[in-house]
Structure 1
């Protein structure tokens, strides 16, 4: 809680945005990549509706190209992969997604934003994509709270929340939103501390970040699969 006893607003918290302002363009691109990594499991581990016409190979190509260069510079291979995915019938139709499908759409939308930001990746663009991961985590918590059925091991999530650091509990959020902020904070710390021009993902600290993001993302996918339809 804040000094006044009210939860800190995760949408507009100076402590979180200050880290992004300290980053250079390459670091902002890395922060964005890791934010989208936290949304990746629902995109690749849960089957999309057939009428979307999304080729899993196109998704795989996009993710591989997106991870190949994290300097924020224009990248023809990435843009070609994005264009290939964008030719799916999904982009020419209106959809009314179920919960898991909404996560898939938001993840795809995040990659589209990366494509628009290449060569620039401003603070506002970075903040917007990082906020996307936060918002999806908070949305999932809200959906879990609203359902009358148990979704996964709720007791385990409650115990984790009770033991979370006070700086995380100050936001007054549920499990997934709090966990996302924990992983986000660690990602930004490592990104800022990494040597300029180095291959972050090839380092021990970078691999640790990938594992943290993937573990969190897998939990999100598991909750989505367990959610009553």
Structure 2
């Protein structure tokens, strides 16, 4: 299976209603939340951590008109920061992951209150891309990966559905989360307030767990003594 040219991803998202598409995209972006809030953004981007944290918190709710208006106000403030200004920037690996998270938040605002299929699919696709990018950077690095053995044990135990994609640790973990979130979102029992339900809280927790695993990797690559290749 090709994770990029994956028609099944688009088909799954196309079968969702607007609320379910919102939840799918919000949970995908949540997997990158720690990359922004716990690793920390470059100071010259001028993005207040509390603003981004507030945006993620706002998105952990049902997609109402009130939520759309709140997100619009927060994103308008985000777009005023220097990182979205006219200056040229060639982001390194860590900054690229963080930019994807911020850009995803902006795209959420553009689609609310009814995120369309293309917008939701693109957000999910880009989170896949960042997970695979992380695996590639680890593989290409000259420094030994301290988590290589447990990550390989995880890959050795993968089920057939995820294994078919032939991804590394973070790519596979992200797919597991993506598939689990989809199953929870389409379950008839999630028709109420998703993020306050037991299943919604559990999916959010597992997405946060994925993000927490990214943090030490990103911090190592941001370190000035970390040889990239």
Q: 1:48 aligns with which of 23, 41, 45?
A: 41
Alignment of 1:27-46 (within 5 A): 27-46=20-39
Deviation of residue 18 (structure 1)?
2.7
TM-score by length of 2: 0.91
Contact 2:19 2:63 in 1 (8 A): yes
Alignment of 1:169-188 (within 5 A): 169-188=163-182
TM-score by length of 1: 0.91
Alignment of 1:112-191 (within 5 A): 112-191=106-185
Q: Distance in 1 between matches of 2:198 and 2:205?
A: 11
Q: Distance in 2 between matches of 1:12 and 1:51?
A: 36
The change in CA–CA distance for 1:121 and 1:46 in structure 2 (over 3 A counts) is same
The answer for the alignment partner of 1:225 in structure 2 is 219
C-alpha offsets along residues 62-91 of structure 1, whole Å, 9 cap, x if unaligned? 222222333588721110011111111111
Deviation of residue 103 (structure 1)?
1.1
Task: Provide structure 2 residue ranges, at least 5 long, that are not aligned to the other structure.
Answer: none
CA RMSD of aligned residues (A): 1.7
Q: Distance in 2 between matches of 1:68 and 1:205?
A: 14
Q: Distance in 2 between matches of 1:197 and 1:26?
A: 9
Deviation of residue 214 (structure 1)?
0.6
Deviation of residue 195 (structure 1)?
4.1
Deviation of residue 55 (structure 1)?
1.2
C-alpha offsets along residues 127-182 of structure 1, whole Å, 9 cap, x if unaligned? 11100110000111111111111233111111100111121111111110011000
Q: Distance in 2 between matches of 1:197 and 1:162?
A: 35
Contact 1:53 1:90 in 2 (8 A): yes
Number of residue-to-residue matches in the alignment: 222
Contact 1:65 1:81 in 2 (8 A): no
The answer for the alignment partner of 2:16 in structure 1 is 23
